[in-house]
A and B are shown apart, each in its own frame.
Chain A
Amino acid sequence: MSGELDGGPFASLTEAELRERFEAADYVADDRTVTTVDLALRLGRPLLVEGPPGSGKTELGKTLAEGFDTELIRLQCYEGLTAENALYEWNYTKQLLAVQADEGTVAGGAGTNGAAGAAGGHSGEPDTGSVFGEEYLLERPLLRALRSAEGRPPVLLIDEIDRADEEFEAFLLELLSDFQVSIPEYGTVSASTPPVVILTSNRTRGLSDALKRRCLYLHVEPPSFETEYEIVRRKVPELDAAVAAEVCSVVERLREESFLKRPGVAETLDWARAVAALRHEDADEPLAADEIERTIGCLLKEAEDVGRVDAELLERLRDAASAAPERVE
């Protein structure tokens, strides 16, 4: 169990440093997120991030990679994802060619194994050991994360783990607790520098206790008005500040409605970009009701939800928008 404070690459990391790196990458994080990520890094534990879609879970992984200037290895999970897709695969074509070449030329070119040479002259029996060497191994994301070069550990982002099958989840356990995997024909591969592992989940299904036990847990909530305003200002600088406040205020109001799919931060950013793109000379005009209505598709992604936006709701959104500029003063 790698839980000790064992002077890993992040042992000397402080929260202030981490916050700076988030700042530099334009990632607005609240205190809880910063502390939890800091802990995950310092304890060398995987971090399980849950939250509604569009709340910046994937972005967290990308930001970490960017902030620490290291490689981001991303594994997008889906139903039917197998260990072969995620971990390693044998290069069958190359193996086959090697075996055939072995038959033709004496004492095969596969030659990672001395036994192949010793067998010399007898070309009938291909040496099974020889084609399961390093050079026939096709690295997939997980193996790549474990075998990456010395120095800065890579960030391994296992995205939407809840979409993968439970078998795959169980397969991950060894990787997450010991940062090693066992390949039957090859041996055990363990990481010299454990990667930073971020798992994200949309909670489409519950994850197993065994997985959760190995991870630190972070629930990302929809941001407050202030945080969201900050995010919009950083990510969509072309939008006028007052209009950005209105945008955030409208989204905040929309989240109070019981929609099938409530808008996340990603939707807010989409909408802010849309509003900015549609405005040319009248850049600092306040949001108008028809403008909201025309672009509501950026925020609401369900036909039923869009259908619920009527004149009354638009009026309330309009009220929320007009109250916004004072809130950011």
Chain B
Amino acid sequence: MTVARSDGTETETPDFPAARQHLVTELIRFAAVLRRDGVAVPASGTLDAARALAAVGLADERRVEAALRASLLSETADGDAFDEAFPTFWHRLRSGLDRIATAHDGPSPEGGEDGEDRGTDDAAPADDSGDADAEDPGLLDDAEPPEMDADGDGDPTVRIPTDRRHAAGDRPTDEQRDERDGRRYSAVGESALVEADVPVPSKAEHAAAERFVDALSSLPGRRRRRSPTGPLVDARGALRASLQTGGAPIDLPRDAPTPSELRCCLLVDVSGSVLDTVDRSALLALGERVATSARDARVFLFDTDFAEATAAFSDPARSPADALRAAEIEWGGGTRIGHALDELRRTAPHAVDRRTVVVVASDGLDVGDPDLFTDGITWLADRADGVVWLNPLAVSPSFEPASRGMGDAAPYVDGLFGFAEARDLAEAARQIERHGLGGPIGYEHDPRRTGGEPEGGRGRAGDETESGDHGEGGVV
């Protein structure tokens, strides 16, 4: 086996076992990273990849990439995850091999093969930026090496996380964003195909989404059953029982909600006004979580059009961002919520029933027919067990549901929450866990808003006056 030094010349690897060990370790790590990112790497993928690398050699980055791509991937959609993970792999591989080569040339403190093997396995290469990533593949994404090899062929295609754009004000001010700012609060804008920079949800975002979905799906339904320790008296049962005792209610049976799992239906507004304000990766994490863990979950995307995207979110092998692209949903271009609800009612009426909690992620800036919207939201509220509205604008301390769409919807919504990033989901989950859908929940009960937690400029004290009954006047 030969390896290339960073000056591009091929040299016989001096320490063959160590180099081999390093290569195999890195290859397995790379496959693990890909699998963690949802790539369906075949079971024998690493074996094939090792054979393929033995065939093409390690000198040329592009050939190595092509070989690994051919042996590790089997889905077109996985290409992005591969592109993202490959530069790190390549850097680690090369720097490790270079280190082994130099360690052999120079004086080696231990000299023994074992010592070098150990170094290959455990310690991160000396010139690598993060030592932490050696232990946890989960951190690899963040630990992108700051510079590539000196030979210049490795243009580091590091993915820079998209800046979060949210309504509370901490928006980036680079020029690229400026033109989009114009349509920030307007419900109309030009349609544009989904951009490639949709970020991958982080662990924290997944956790928040998971908590939110769990909170929703474990909500008690309307059906109740006899329970000796239940919180309420079963009035009808008590009446029936009293017939045996001549009308005197001696036995007071109690009941509790039947433990059940609610179904979930997620409606995501993909108009520009929403996507510019909400953290896209949190949104994707939510969609993924709903599609994969809630029972009979359905995910729909709408702006001026309406499309189902359940399959795209529920397949672990596909990235939902890709799925959005594949579905050719266009980000931006205004919202016709009423139209979307109407489409939902016509095309997928079974997606919503009395055991379904509907989550709408939209800013409520409706540009469609107001009557259609009212019809739609009343139908939805009537039919569903509950409606939770996630409004990216509601994270702002001065938010009130004053826009036409939101004003129309508010009476029918059980909980109206702000949603710009993952922790907003966690907060919504906390409230739902504590109070249930019928309780006092909503953006106005957010302690960050009412309690004056200062961070992010979002807390605003003395705000209680407007905290009306938007959250409570919903479906009972």
Contacts and interface: CB of A to CB of B under 8 A. Distances in A.
A135 B52 CA distance: 41
Contact of A218 (B43, B65, B70, B330): B70
Interface stretch (A35-43, A66-74, A183-191): A35-43
A138 B76 CA distance: 38
A4 interface: yes
B225 interface: no
Given A32-B66, A213-B42, A213-B43, A39 B55 contact: yes
Contacts of B73: 217, 219
Interface in A166-210: 203, 207, 209
B264 to A, nearest CB: 25
Interface string B70-105: 110110100100000000000000000000000000
Given A4-B51, A31-B62, A209-B40, A39 B67 contact: yes
A5 B54 contact: yes
Given A5-B55, A42-B55, A216-B48, A35 B63 contact: yes
B245 interface: no
A217 B55 contact: no
A212 interface: yes
Contacts of B250: none
Contact of A36 (B42, B66, B76): B66
B51 A203 contact: no
A128 to B, nearest CB: 42
A35 B76 contact: no
Contacts of B45: 213
B58 to A, nearest CB: 13
A257 B305 CA distance: 17
Nearest to B54: A5
A56 to B, nearest CB: 16
A47 B55 CA distance: 16
A312 to B, nearest CB: 14
Contact of B66 (A35, A43, A47, A48): A35
A258 interface: yes
B79 A219 contact: yes
A258 B66 contact: no
Nearest to B50: A3
B69 interface: yes
B44 interface: yes
A102 interface: no
Contacts of A203: 76
B193 interface: yes
A50 interface: yes
Contacts of B55: 5, 38-39, 42-43
**Residue of A203, A216, A218 with highest tally of chain B CB at under 10 A:** A216
Given A5-B54, A31-B62, A43-B52, A216 B70 contact: yes
A213 B76 contact: no
A38 B76 CA distance: 20
Interface of B: 40, 42-45, 47-48, 51-52, 54-56, 62-63, 65-67, 69-71, 73-74, 76, 79, 193, 328, 330
12 contacts: A15-B63, A36-B66, A36-B69, A38-B56, A39-B52, A39-B55, A39-B66, A215-B74, A217-B74, A218-B70, A219-B73, A258-B328
Given A5-B55, A213-B74, 4 more contacts: A3-B47, A31-B62, A212-B42, A219-B73
